Chain A
Amino acid sequence: MTISEGVTLILCLAGAVFFLAGTVGLLRFPDFFSRLHALTKADTLGLGLIVLGLMLQVGSIAAALKLLLIWVLALLASTTVCHLLGNYELSRSSGGEKRKAGS
């Protein structure tokens, strides 16, 4: 095993651990916002680590950039979706008093 393969292995395993943690959090956390928190944070980091690990293995710069683009787009999408979900939950659960749980 070369050094780069070793690094890839470590990064991917770390990424998988984050995914696992995020999923456990989604299942175990008590309320909506902490679940959302667990999911998005862990997925973002997990995906990032795996992408980083895979970037070491592809042959060309172009392919590596494509992988990076996947991560950036996933980041954008998850941020937007997280915002929408949070907004929806806020308007649903507290009606008028949006301030309370907003912090």
Chain B
Amino acid sequence: MNPVAVGFDGLLALLILFLAVRALTAPGLQQPVILFIAFGLAMALAWARMRAPDVALAEAAIGTGLLGVLLIDSLGLFTRSKSETPPQPRRSRAASILAVGTTLLLAGGLGFAILAMPEAEGLAAAAAEKLGASGVDHPVTAVLLNFRSFDTWLEIGVLLIAMWGLFCAGGREGFAPRATEARPGTVLGGTVQSLLPLVLLVGIYLLWLGKVDSGGAFQAGVVLGAAGILLRLGGLGFPDWLRPWLVRTLLLFGFAFMLLVGLSALFAGAAFLEYPPTLAGPLILAVELAATLSIGFTLYCFFTYLFDLRIHPATASSES
């Protein structure tokens, strides 16, 4: 037992809780968004403290990084485009007491349940035992892409479904032609462009690293997506050579590729998504490559679609 470590973890936990509460109670929108991003970074530290570097990477990059960018971009929209927000009526005292009371009650009940939890074994031993047959050496990658690849496949599907949801909500399937707004500054554009080879290198490195250590398709995909977003911010619009059919293909490539791998297992007489042991390693790498491409591109599209929608809103169809 190390008092310094416990003290640090205790302080970090308190900080996380404080940031969460303030993110929801701070006035306006700017403070909550900034506090939420700080919350995400503090959470990433907590993941690292619990020896979950894969999760820390994913959370910092996707959960906080990408969502943070989207939130900040929304901040500009919500505070600027309409002249003044209507004055909000103050919440009544009774409502506040109710909210605080419910929170305390829920937290107490759930906290008690967590404290009363017995120590179950978990699946660490089972995963360690089968790791040798999985085709990779990193247990988290083995679970993600072999033992529970069905979950991962569907999760890549959720990204695609969410993109379809964005199309529906935005009122336009596809992307606006090359945006025409002015470049925000050549320093950003220049920096991003000169860093691009390094970013690509890091992405590929992370993908390759997933076989033996923390890393893999998600982290690599996010790095690629982030590179695209930075390029977009640096003034580089949606490229002309990305024709609609190519966009659709890139969006569904990872999901479709994994489906094909799964179905070919069926035709070979094995279970859905079952890899032959000798081919597991290369197949997982191929699946990860396809997934990285689609994940990165979809995340880029999330941002680009929202960003374009702000500048060129879909044709209003507000009649009800």
- Per-residue CB contact flags for chain B residues 173-204 toward chain A (1 = under 8 Å, else 0) read 00000000000110110010001000000000
User: A84: which B residues are within 8 A, CB to CB?
Assistant: 184-185, 187-188
Write out the residue numbers on chain A whose beta carbons fall within 8 Å of the beta carbon of B185. 83-84, 87
- Chain A contacts for B191, CB-based, 8 A: 76, 80
- Assembly CA distance A73 to B184 (angstroms): 21
**A84 vs B195: C-alpha distance in the bound complex, in angstroms?**
17
Nearest CB of B to A37, in Å = 18
Interface residues of A in 9-42 (CB under 8 A from B): none
Q: Which of B111-136 contact A (CB under 8 A)?
A: none
Chief secondary structure at chain B's binding surface: helix
Assembly CA distance A43 to B155 (angstroms): 38
Structural contact, B187 and A76, CB atoms closer than 8 A: no
Nearest-CB distance from A27 to chain B (Å)? Answer: 14
Cβ distance B201 to chain A, nearest Cβ, rounded Å: 11
List, in ascending order, chain B residues with CB within 8 A of A76's CB.
191, 195
A82 to B135, CA, bound (A): 46
Query: CA–CA, A76 to B188, complex, Å?
Result: 10
Does the CB pair B187–A83 fall under 8 Å?
yes
With both beta carbons as reference points, the residue of chain B lying nearest to A87 in the complex is identified as: B185
The answer for the CA separation of A76 and B195 in the assembled complex, in Å, is 10
A73 CA to B201 CA, complexed, in Å: 14
Cα–Cα, bound, A87→B185 (Å): 8
Q: Which residues of A contact B187 (CB under 8 A)?
A: 80, 83-84
| Bound Cα distance from A8 to B187, whole angstroms | 35
Query: Shortest distance in angstroms between A97's beta carbon and chain B's nearest beta carbon?
Result: 19
Nearest Cβ on chain A to B192's Cβ, whole angstroms: 8
Distance in angstroms between the alpha carbons of A80 and B193 in the assembled complex = 13
Q: For residue B198, which residue of chain A has the nearest CB?
A: A73
Chain B residue nearest to A76 (CB atoms) is B191
Shortest beta-carbon distance, A83 to chain B, in Å?
A: 5
Instruction: Provide a sorted-by-A list of 14 A–B residue pairs whose CB atoms are within 8 angstroms.
Output: A73-B195, A76-B191, A76-B195, A80-B187, A80-B188, A80-B191, A83-B185, A83-B187, A83-B188, A84-B184, A84-B185, A84-B187, A84-B188, A87-B185
User: Contact residues of B with A, CB < 8 Å?
Assistant: 184-185, 187-188, 191, 195
* 12 other A-B residue contacts (CB within 8 Å) besides A84-B184, A84-B188: A73-B195, A76-B191, A76-B195, A80-B187, A80-B188, A80-B191, A83-B185, A83-B187, A83-B188, A84-B185, A84-B187, A87-B185
